[in-house]
Amino acid sequence: MEEKEISKAVIRRLPRYYRYLGELIESGVERISSSELSSRMKVTASQIRQDLNNFGGFGQQGYGYNVKFLYSEIAKILGLDKKHNVIIIGAGNLGHAIANYVAFEKRGFIMTALFDINPERIGKKIRDIEVLPLSELEAYIKENEVDIATLTIPKTAAKEVAERLVNCGVKAIWNFAHTDLNLPEDVLVENVHLSESLMRLSYNITSVEKSREEQK
């Protein structure tokens, strides 16, 4: 039950550990020291030891970490050892991109249906996932287990659809709409605000330009 005390910062870093360990497995590496992992990931070795000690110290002095074991332990912590059924609301380009991304499925995220209001999209299939009319959302959720709903629709529609999802009992939303959803506290929302990410890049470009001008 150590997980309870884990800080948000550690949680934010865990998927990155998971990704690096996955890459190590792919390249046939069986064990790795914290200092090797440190130079690859560009975080300090002591940070790595600290982070991983949260889960009971998987490393052994003089041996390092067993890559496969650590990978599967982090997978469990992240809930990747279970299946999650995911629906996507909005079958535009972004919805397509997500439905097409098979790597999600390897990690247990099963895309089960897309929903849209555009008659030209309804009935089409992305891989073998059907695009259903949004009017069938409630009926679908009643009959199928839905763990995560992905919103890839404009912000004007996002709030209303999010409320419909919550009314049907959906407890986790992956939100790509450029707005905050303001849902009840027991609903988990993970936001991906692409425009905010682009603005951070733009801020950094501007800062670099400014400091260059000042050095002249």
- Residue 94 marked as a ligand binder: yes
Interface with a copy of itself includes 125 (CB under 8 A)?
A: no
Contacting residue, 33, 55, 66, 92, with a copy of itself by CB under 8 A? 92
- Residue 95 marked as a ligand binder: yes
Q: How far apart are the first and last CA of the chain?
A: 57
Which range binds a copy of itself by CB under 8 A, 43-51, 59-67, 92-100, 132-140?
92-100
Interface with a copy of itself includes 121 (CB under 8 A)?
A: no
- Residue pair 48/60 in contact by the 8 Å Cβ criterion: no
Contacting residue, 44, 101, 144, 167, with a copy of itself by CB under 8 A? 101
Interface with a copy of itself includes 114 (CB under 8 A)?
A: no
Phi-psi bin for 56: left (phi > 0), alpha (psi -120 to 50), beta?
left
Interface with a copy of itself includes 200 (CB under 8 A)?
A: yes
- Residue 127's Cα: distance from chain center in Å? 21
Q: Hey, which residues does 131 pair with through a beta bridge?
A: 114
Is 181 strand, coil or helix?
coil
Q: Hey, which residues does 89 pair with through a beta bridge?
A: 115, 151
Site string for a copy of itself, 137-176 (x = CB under 8 A): ----------xx----------------------xx-x--
Cβ neighbour number for residue 95 with a 10 Å cutoff? 25
Instruction: Name, in order, each residue with C-beta under 8 angstroms of 76's C-beta and a sequence gap of 6 or more.
Output: none
Contacting residue, 94, 117, 157, 168, with a copy of itself by CB under 8 A? 94
Please give the Cα distance from 118 to 131 (Å, whole number).
Answer: 10
What DSSP state is assigned to residue 29? -
Please give the Cα distance from 94 to 113 (Å, whole number).
Answer: 14
Nearer residue to a copy of itself within complex by CB, 11 or 29: 11
Q: Count of residues binding a copy of itself (CB under 8 A)?
A: 64
Numbered residues of the known binding site for NAD(+): 90-95
Site of interaction with a copy of itself (CB under 8 A): 1, 3-4, 11-12, 14-16, 18-19, 23, 41-42, 77-80, 82, 84, 92-94, 96-98, 100-101, 103-104, 107-109, 147-148, 171-172, 174, 178-180, 182, 186, 188, 190, 192-208, 210-211, 214
